[in-house]
Amino acid sequence: MSQTTLQTPELIRALRDRLGISQEKLAARLGVSFQTVNRWERGRANPSPMAMTLIEQQLRQMGERAQDLLETYFVP
**Tens-level pLDDT at each residue, the chain (76 residues):** 344 445 899 999 999 999 999 999 999 999 999 999 999 999 999 999 999 999 999 999 999 999 999 999 987 7
Global pTM value: 0.87
Q: Residue 2's pLDDT is what?
A: 43
Phi-psi region of 22 (alpha: psi -120 to 50; beta: other; left: phi over 0): beta
* Ordered domains of the chain (ranges, CATH): 3-71 (1.10.260.40)
44 backbone dihedrals φ, ψ, rounded to 5°: -90, -15
Q: Residue 6's pLDDT is what?
A: 56
